[in-house]
Amino acid sequence: MKYNKIVVFVVLCYLAGSFANAQDAASIMDTARNRIKKETLSSRSRMVITAKDGSTSERLIDQYSKDGPNGARIIIVFQKPANVAGTRFLTMDNKTGGSDRWIFLPSLGKVRRIAASESGGSFMGTDFSYDDISLSDREANLDTHTMLREETLNGAACYVIQSIPKDTSYQYSKIITWIDKNKSFIYKSELYDKRGTLVKVMEMSGFKDIQGRQTPSQIKISTVNTGTYTTIYIEITKYDDPIPESVFTTAYLETGRSK
């Protein structure tokens, strides 16, 4: 009986340690993703798409985001070049934990809803998928988090955390993230497909103080098997500027005008 009690005690200690690990990892991830406190975010960026042969193409985009009753809402407006100007994209978190997405393409002249089955598709010919656009705003409770290890990246001590989506229909089977232990910066995320193969790497760098918030000025996502990558250079960032509610509607997508 004494032996059995020892075994039970060891098992309970192991389970308690695993639970604490999961709780700590989830808390660290939640803090990192919600590190910047804001009412709204407005930005202008250059998006540079680099092909396998090294050739590049550029796009100028404006982005607006604001929290809503169910989570993040993001709208992206393409300004240049002429062949994509006027394209507008809207993503909104919904009550189920997923996202609803719509896009307006001037060539079609109408708003089209993005089906859930398209969430892994390329966003406007870039290395970003539709899911990737809102990855940094993804709610921590949508995944199960595990602390893998601690190591140095970018000269900083980092937590390395594995996140497994609870929704098995999500395009990635797991995400491994490097988070600065002291500043809660997310430096890198590795994205794995359903077969457990590394398919993309997302990196954030060039952190700057903007209105008292340490903000990345560069976001790069690389596609492993093609050798292509897309880099977003954020040139203007403004926090807490008023954004009308009407901007986050399909009517705005179609007209480009807020009421």
Mean of pLDDT over the chain: 90
Q: What is the tens place of the pLDDT at every residue in 104-160?
A: 999 989 999 999 888 889 999 999 999 998 888 888 999 999 999 999 999 999 999
CA-CA distances (angstroms) from residue 231 to 72, 73, 117, 128, 221? 22, 22, 25, 10, 6
pLDDT of residue 10: 41
Domain boundaries, the chain: 32-255
pLDDT at residue 235 is higher than 90: yes
Output the pLDDT for position 171. Answer: 92
Determine the pLDDT at residue 195.
Answer: 95
- Beta-carbon count within 10 A of 147 CB: 17
- For the entire predicted model, the pTM comes to 0.87
**Other C-beta atoms within 10 Å of 3: how many?**
7
Which homologous superfamily does the CATH classification assign to the domain defined by 32-255? Lipoprotein localisation LolA/LolB/LppX (2.50.20.10)
Q: What is the DSSP letter of 115?
A: P
